[in-house]
Structure 1
Amino acid sequence: MSIVSLIILTKTPSYAKAPAPVIYVNPIEFSGLWYEIARTYNSYEENCVAPTVEYKKISKTKLEVYNRCFKEKIGADLKEYKGVVEPLGSNGNMSLMEKTYYWIFSEEYRIIYLDNYETAVVVDENMEYVWIMNRKPTIENKKLGDIISMLNNYIDTDKLIFPLQDKNGRYK
């Protein structure tokens, strides 16, 4: 092995795959509006402000999902896309879920943190996509710090994006 390769290997942080999901997530209790507190980069949320995700019950275990944000500034054009979420766990457990958008784009996600259905962390298996969500547009600094410390074992948390959030929760 060359010395350059050795230096690169020792300087590049190595992160593990996503931790196991929480034990159980009730789809009905998970339903409702969540405000995005932080996320990793993804092209479909580029230049988004005041992003939210809303889950609405279709059946006992199947949910519709609505992702919304304003383009570049609060009150600007609303960017919205809709999908379907189904549990991959038994007994309707939503801790592992499959989200499908436009009938063809599906991705498996897991909930790795859930605090009394008020705060959640949703990720994909490789931790490429990470969302910290809260039922309110703001979150306590200590709680956010604890979540970021936990995530630091899996991703470079310096790359988290903290979007401007609409504290009034307005959508046109």
Structure 2
Amino acid sequence: MQICSSHDGRIHAKNPRAAGCIAGISFIMIDNMNIIVSVFALLLLMVLTACTPPQKNIGVPPLQVVSAVDLQRYAGTWYEIAHYPNSFQRGCVATTANYAALLTGKIRVVNTCRKERLDGDIISAEGKAWVVDPKTNAKLKVSFFWPFSGDYWIIELGENYDYAVVGHPDRKYLWILSRTPFMDSARYADILSRLQKTHSYDTRKLVRTLQPD
């Protein structure tokens, strides 16, 4: 099964069953028999989300991002190592995200996963991202369905761009990413420690992502 998207960020599918969201971006689940209903539900969800006031973390300092991101070095494929559970990634394994610079100055985002199993159906979605904090390039917005977008904040980044941690200003989302499908236990433990002490994240909520050998 192949699911593909046009460069305008809209999702198109060949024999569509599902399209979704990875590494901070929402998946759109589309069933062959309920395309219209699914699109309506998506629009309703986005409207409700847009109208919901941001959550307040009383007593928690504002989330800090890294001091600088070289977007050329950040481009390429990232493997999801762990994430906060969310409805739009339910059932996803072997999750990856690919970023590529566009001539418009925006970033092409392609998120992919397998459904339920490592040999399951491929789920893919394409969108666009853009920088909202040019001083650091660490705060971005990502959209898979214009005009709706979500926050994508880079809060940890390896010196060699070999790992990254993406968060949300309200701390309701979290993703740990790596350039390889696996991360050694010492590095993972160090990241968890910084998430707890520096970023006030509850790392007990993290779920490890199954990746192929």
Verify same fold: TM over 0.5: yes
Map of 1:49 onto structure 2: 93
1:86-137 deviations in whole A, cap 9, x for unaligned? 011226x421111111223201221110002110000110111100000000
TM-score w.r.t. the length of structure 2 is 0.67
Map residues 1-172 of structure 1 onto 2, 5 A cutoff: 16=60, 19-59=63-103, 61-90=105-134, 93-115=136-158, 116-153=160-197, 154-167=200-213
Q: Which runs of 5+ in 1 are unaligned?
A: 1-12, 168-172
Could you say what the CA RMSD is over the residues aligned between the two structures, in angstroms?
A: 1.9
Stretches (4+) displaced over 2 A: 13-19
Q: Which runs of 5+ in 2 are unaligned?
A: 1-56
Q: Structure 2: how far apart are the matches of 1:57 and 1:48?
A: 26
The residue identity in structure 1 corresponding to 2:176 is I
- Deviation of 1:60 after TM superposition, in Å, equals 7.2
Q: Structure 2: how far apart are the matches of 1:15 and 1:78?
A: 42
Q: Secondary structure at the match of 1:80?
A: strand
| Contact 1:55–1:64 (8 Å) recurs in 2 | yes
**Distance of aligned partners of 1:128 and 1:17 in 2 relative to their CA distance in 1, 3 Å threshold:** farther
TM-score w.r.t. the length of structure 1 is 0.83
- Deviation of 1:17 after TM superposition, in Å, equals 5.2
Q: Structure 1: how far apart are the matches of 2:110 and 2:137?
A: 17
Q: Structure 2: how far apart are the matches of 1:64 and 1:121?
A: 19
Map of 1:10 onto structure 2: none
State the number of aligned residues.
154
1:11-57 deviations in whole A, cap 9, x for unaligned? xx977255311111111111000000000011111010000111011
